Structure 1
Amino acid sequence: MRSLEQILNDISKIPFHDTFGTKKEIRYLPSILDDNEAVLSFTSGFFDGNTWLIVLTHRRLIFLDKGMIYGLKQREIPLDHINSVGHKIGLLLGSIAIQDGASAIRIDNIQKQTIIPFIDALNRSIDNFKTGRNIRRESPSISAADEIKKYKLLLDEGTITEEEFKIKKRQLLEL
């Protein structure tokens, strides 16, 4: 599970974002995001009668609304399910419409300066996902034993020293 600190670090790198009314949702993100899933873009807007946090990762679009006292509403759309994305920009606020084949979601009252960067990031992510160029990929599961065997071969070849092998072995075995 990603820590709140890692998520806040991701968020700090996003030039245009809006966290209005979504502090509780941001604090809840560590329990939703996978270890290898980073926040690429986000904004907030009015949807289904409440202010929601809309988060884009390399795999999915997440909508979160943490209730005032309790409860959580969460909706996700995998990137490969998004058929179209549209937007409208007004004088101060705008809206985003997302079609996922079965339904349409319209998020209103979005800060206008966040709309274009969010849409651009979403379209890039959809394209990367559909063409197999994900920003982050699942790393294959490699056991500590396999890694130790690899370092043992390096030791036998003379590429690393006995001391380097012992250090790496301790790290892998978490001793």
Structure 2
Amino acid sequence: MSEKSRLDEIREELKKLDISPTIFARKEIHELPDILSADEKIVYLVEGRNKINNHHIILVATDRRLIFVDKEFMYGLKVEDFSYSKISSIQYETAFLLASIDIQVTDDVVEIDGVGKYHAELFCEKVREFMSRPEEHIQSKSEPSVLDQLEQLGRLKESGVLNEEEFLEQKKKLMGKL
């Protein structure tokens, strides 16, 4: 898939999620085709300002990880991603129209401000959903390999779930896939 069509696909995902990034997020959005895996889906996205350097950034929650993207004209591209299992807490604090988000990742706190109040709340909810899931549900949902399936068959036979004849029949089917 070309980079252009992947970018169009990402824009469609954002549209379906009712997310309308501002013109300030354009540089970061254009980097997403190179950052996201081909089958990685965006769950939610917010934009704001990094409290440390005051750069405009986006935070992207996907079905696999949380990604911080900072694309500045003079400073290049900075991408940090974190497994949901490494995030110990996420919270937001609202002011009049805007909010800030604090994310505790291992021994570090990432702070973003200037986030829309409504979007900050939704973003935190989405991230919390993934934080509460077991690790195996967050990882890639690809099909198990034939070897994995053969190992599973062996365990089923050993535990008595499958008899020898059933085991050999299933093994033959799997070996035919090779």
Match of 1:118 among 113, 117, 123: 123
RMSD: 2.5
Counting aligned pairs with the same residue, the percent is 29
TM-score by length of 2: 0.71
Matching residue of 1:105: 110
Count of equivalent residues: 144
Matching residue of 2:72: 67
* Deviation (angstroms), 1:35: 1.4
Matching residue of 1:52: 57
Matching residue of 1:138: 142
Task: Give ranges in structure 1 of 5+ residues lacking alignment.
Answer: 143-149, 154-175
Q: Deviation digits for residues 66-112 of structure 1, max 9, x if unmatched?
A: 11256101111111100011110111111000001210011011111
Q: Deviation digits for residues 36-86 of structure 1, max 9, x if unmatched?
A: 201110000110320101101111111111112561011111111000111
Higher helix share: 2
Q: 1:131 to 1:75 in 2, by over 3 A?
A: closer
The CA distance in 1 between the partners of 2:49 and 2:34, in whole Å, is 23
TM-score by length of 1: 0.72
Higher strand share: 2
Amino acid at match of 1:54: L
Q: 1:69 to 1:137 in 2, by over 3 A?
A: same
Higher relative contact order (CA 8 A, sep 6+): 1
